[in-house]
């Protein structure tokens, strides 16, 4: 029996119970033929070819039998790549790297999906092959530019789909169709064999029913490819288990008059706080100003650069709005481009200062959703509205995951996005899985609840032993707090340590090991920091303090404050007090 929601673990279980990949393929082709929106696909793999792949499947592979579709700006050997422009079409001889990797992992390709032409748009209406519609109301846009890919997953026509994302094309369609959209770090999934929109910013995106599924696809697709100049090796940035989330202040909450969307965003913020996550407002101004530059300035010239040889000869072949956008780039000079690059760099400093205060952002994916008619009436203005909370992400080299966040009374879906630093995909997926479940919007047109979760990885941490002014409540403790450190325990050193009051004004503590001395140990605390925070902390440490190995009463050994020997000359031995806090208290009583 086919699961209600085409999740990867559920399909694996169905295969184990007797469903065959070939039977699944046949069922999905029946669904595709019955689905009323005929603009979802540009080209389908012949049913018999897909069934043949399914019948020969090696079921030990990680994505064995998983049906998927790809956006039609991604090469598939022997199938036309159109980028939604018939005159541009060509037939590649080899798969795009990402397609080859997914097929090698056992995934079964069903077809190539529609898109905004040359991936230029966030709405899904700019294609001569038709405008895919939201699975919840055919009057409304599907979102773009990865329109058909998102609809295929939301409609239950595929387990997952590939899109691309430059300005939000892997996220806005997820919000319009109640699914998860993962936009990974730039270069994590190679773009070899992908028709570029803005080559320096493009990402291959993943649509799925859950964060866990999106990560399963990412794990099969990611990895360095020397053929892609922007490819990067796999790295991991682990965020705290309990995150600090940056949210929009009231002054920055622009929902284009959509009161229902505003209420759903506030509900998502409240739910995040109810999970025990720290929610704090950020200044969105630098992000908004960066977002405006992606389409509103010389950056659009990169879109012209991507297709210029074809555009110079076939400008009439372009969809009118796409032609207006790409052709408009000709009015910018190289000097204009550098001017905008400098603007983004200046804004980057302000944006990164806001990001440094939090672990991730929780933003609306899109402010509202438009009807197809509204979109066609104001194609450029409404498209800019859709990108208000997405356009900045790739310019800042961030990761983003869009997730379902509820429904308006009209039955139309709303989504939010979690946004974090490059290579934080696993941590953001953990947050996404938890919040997705808590918000209860389900996935896809059936609104079924995903059964597979993705566990938040434990952050890599360094333990730091402190014995003086960095203890809880002491004058320098804020330095640890500001770096996101957490208190692990209050304990004591091994017996062979002494504590000194250094001859400074005011006195500073100095912890030193004294082999052969047998005391009661010195009161200390153990704090946990990320490796990055530990590096910052050590770099700022003034002499004569240093970091050495400190043995604790329980036999464990961790990095900790130790005083250089030369500074102990003239220092007062205060070991008898048992710790710095007790020593300071004794001095207060004397005073």
φ, ψ dihedrals at 502, nearest 5°: -70, 150
Structure confidence at residue 542 (pLDDT): 73
Asked whether the predicted pLDDT for residue 556 surpasses 80, the reply is yes
d(CA 247, CA 379) in angstroms, rounded, equals 29
Instruction: Determine the average pLDDT of the residues in 383-388.
Output: 98
Convert 178-214 to b/e letters by CB count within 10 Å (16 or more is b): bbbbbbbbbbbbbbbbbbbbbbebbbbbbbbbbbbbb
What average pLDDT score do residues 223-234 get?
A: 96
Beta bridge partner(s), residue 134: 137
As a whole number of angstroms, the distance between CA 338 and CA 403 comes to: 35
* Per annotation, catalytic residue among 71, 112, 183, 498: 71
CA dihedral sign of residues 553, 557, 561, 563: positive
Residue 463 to residue 468: CA distance in whole angstroms: 16
Q: What is the pLDDT of residue 521?
A: 94
Host H or E run for residue 248: strand 244-248
Closest CA to 164 of 112, 125, 203: 203
Could you tell me the pLDDT band of residue 591, with boundaries at 50, 70 and 90?
low
In the chain, where does the domain assigned CATH 3.10.490.10 lie? Answer: 462-590
The whole-number pLDDT of residue 457 equals 80
Q: What is the mean pLDDT of the chain?
A: 95
Structural contact between residues 164 and 74, judged by C-beta atoms closer than 8 angstroms: yes
What gap in Å lies between CA 557 and CA 548, rounded to an integer?
Answer: 10
Average pLDDT over residues 310-327: 97
CA atoms within 13 A on the CB side of 397: 12
* Distance from C-alpha of 424 to C-alpha of 185, rounded to nearest angstrom: 8
Region 194-218: what's the mean pLDDT?
Answer: 98
CA–CA–CA angle 195, 199, 200 (5° rounding): 160
Whole-number pLDDT of residue 373: 98
Contacts (Cβ under 8 Å, ≥6 apart) of 547: 464, 538, 541, 559, 560, 561, 562
DSSP state of 232: -
Rounded CA-CA distance 435/279 in Å is 13
- In the DSSP assignment, the letter for residue 371 is B
**pLDDT at residue 505, rounded to an integer:** 78
Does the pLDDT of residue 540 top 90, yes or no? no
Sorted by sequence, the CB contacts under 8 Å of residue 296 that are 6+ apart come out as 384
Q: Which tens digit of pLDDT belongs to each residue from 392-433?
A: 999 999 999 999 999 999 999 999 999 999 999 999 999 999
Interaxial angle between packed helices 379-386 and 285-296, expressed in degrees from 0 to 180 and rounded to the nearest 10: 140
Residue 587 has pLDDT above 90, yes or no: no
Q: Under a CB-based contact definition with an 8 Å cutoff, are residues 413 and 136 in contact?
A: yes
- Burial label, 90 (beta-carbon count in 10 A; 0-12, 13-18, 19+): exposed
Q: Say how far apart CA 139 and CA 479 lie, in whole Å.
A: 54
Task: Reply yes or no on whether 199 is catalytic.
Answer: no
> Do 549 and 560 meet the contact criterion of CB atoms below 8 Å apart?
yes
pLDDT at 15 (0 to 100): 98
Q: Write the CB contacts of 272 (distance below 8 Å, at least 6 apart in sequence).
A: 245, 247, 279, 362, 435
The DSSP call for residue 443 is: B
Residue ranges, CATH 3.90.1300.10, the chain: 8-439
What pLDDT shows up at residue 562? 87
Among the listed residues 127, 142, 145, 147, the single catalytic one is: 145
The pLDDT tens digits of the residues spanning 242-301 come to 999 999 999 999 999 999 999 999 999 999 999 999 999 999 999 999 999 988 889 999
The pLDDT-based confidence of 508 (bands split at 50, 70, 90) is confident
pLDDT band at 506 (very low <50, low <70, confident <90, very high): confident
* Set 127, 146, 169, 452: catalytic member: 169
CA distances from 96 to 165, 192, 331 (A): 16, 6, 33
Tell me which of 464 and 538 has the higher pLDDT.
Answer: 464
Buried b (16+ CB within 10 A) or exposed e, 399-426: bbbbbbbbbbeeebbbbbbbbbbbbbbb
The pLDDT of 151-155, averaged and rounded, is 98
Q: What is the pLDDT of residue 588?
A: 78
User: Which CATH architecture group holds 462-590?
Assistant: Roll (3.10)
Q: Catalytic annotation on 71?
A: yes
Q: Looking at the predicted structure, is the pLDDT value of residue 237 above 60?
A: yes
Q: Report pTM.
A: 0.82
Domain at 8-439, CATH homologous superfamily: Amidase signature (AS) domain (3.90.1300.10)
Give the β-pairing of 497-501 and 509-513.
Answer: antiparallel
If you search the block for the tokens 């005011």, which residue do you land on?
Answer: 506
Instruction: Tell me the C-alpha distance between 310 and 307, whole Å.
Output: 6
210 carries an active-site annotation? no
Whether the pLDDT of residue 99 is over 70: the answer is: yes
- Percent of the chain clearing pLDDT 70 (strictly above): 99
Rounded Cα–Cα distance for residues 199 and 118 (Å) = 12
Position 538 scores a pLDDT of 82
The answer, yes or no, to whether residue 49 has pLDDT greater than 70, is: yes
């Amino acid at each position: 029996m086919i699961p209600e929601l085409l999740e990867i673990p559920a399909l694996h279980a169905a295969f184990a119970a007797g469903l065959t990949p070939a039977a699944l393929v046949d069922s999905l082709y029946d669904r595709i033929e019955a689905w009323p929106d005929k603009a979802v696909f540009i080209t389908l793999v012949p049913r018999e070819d897909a069934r043949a792949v399914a019948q020969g499947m090696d079921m030990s592979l990680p994505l064995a039998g998983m049906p998927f579709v790809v956006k039609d700006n991604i090469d598939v050997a022997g199938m036309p790549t159109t980028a939604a422009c018939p005159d541009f079409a060509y037939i590649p001889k080899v798969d795009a790297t990402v397609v080859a990797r997914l097929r090698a992992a056992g995934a079964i390709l069903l077809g190539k999906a529609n898109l905004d032409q040359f991936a230029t748009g966030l709405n899904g209406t700019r294609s001569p092959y038709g405008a895919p519609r939201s699975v919840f109301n055919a009057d409304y846009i599907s979102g773009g530019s990865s329109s058909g890919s998102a609809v295929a997953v939301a409609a239950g026509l595929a387990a997952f789909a590939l899109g691309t994302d430059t300005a939000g094309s892997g996220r806005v369609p997820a919000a319009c169709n109640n699914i998860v959209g993962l936009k990974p770090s730039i270069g994590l999934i190679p773009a070899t064999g992908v028709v570029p929109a803005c080559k320096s910013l493009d990402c291959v995106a993943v649509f799925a029913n859950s964060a866990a599924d999106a990560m399963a696809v990412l794990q099969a697709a990611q990895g360095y490819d020397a053929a892609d100049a922007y490819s990067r090796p796999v790295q991991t940035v682990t965020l705290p288990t309990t995150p600090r989330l940056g949210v929009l202040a009231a002054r920055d909450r622009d929902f284009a008059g959509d009161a229902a969307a505003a209420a759903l965003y506030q509900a998502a913020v409240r739910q995040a706080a109810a999970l025990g996550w720290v929610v704090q407002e950020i200044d969105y101004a630098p992000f908004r100003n960066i977002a405006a530059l992606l389409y509103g300035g010389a950056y659009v010239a990169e879109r012209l650069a991507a297709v210029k040889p074809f555009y110079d000869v076939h400008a009439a072949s372009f969809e009118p709005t796409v032609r207006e956008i790409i052709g408009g780039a000709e009015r910018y000079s190289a000097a204009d481009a550098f001017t905008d690059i400098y603007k983004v760099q200046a804004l980057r400093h302000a944006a990164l200062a806001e990001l440094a205060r939090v672990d991730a952002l929780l933003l609306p994916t899109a402010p509202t959703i438009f009807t197809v008619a509204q979109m066609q009436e104001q194609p450029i203005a409404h498209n800019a509205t859709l990108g208000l909370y997405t356009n900045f992400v790739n310019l800042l080299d961030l990761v983003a995951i869009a997730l379902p966040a509820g429904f308006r009374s009209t039955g139309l879906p709303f989504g939010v996005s979690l946004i974090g630093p490059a290579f934080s995909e696993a941590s953001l997926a953990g947050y996404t899985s938890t919040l997705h479940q808590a918000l209860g919007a389900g996935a896809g047109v059936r609104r079924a609840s995903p059964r597979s979760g993705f566990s938040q990885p434990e952050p890599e941490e360094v333990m730091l032993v402190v014995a003086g002014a960095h203890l809880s409540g002491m004058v320098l403790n804020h330095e640890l707090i500001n770096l996101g450190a957490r208190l692990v325990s209050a304990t004591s050193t091994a017996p062979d340590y002494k504590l000194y009051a250094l001859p400074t004004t005011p006195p500073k503590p100095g912890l030193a090991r004294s082999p052969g001395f047998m005391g009661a140990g010195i009161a200390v605390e153990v704090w946990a920091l990320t490796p990055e925070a530990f590096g910052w902390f050590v770099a700022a440490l003034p002499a004569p303090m240093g970091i050495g190995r400190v043995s604790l009463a329980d036999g464990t050994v961790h990095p900790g404050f130790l005083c250089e020997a030369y500074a102990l000359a003239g220092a007062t031995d205060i070991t008898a007090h048992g710790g710095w806090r007790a020593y300071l208290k004794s001095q207060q009583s004397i005073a």
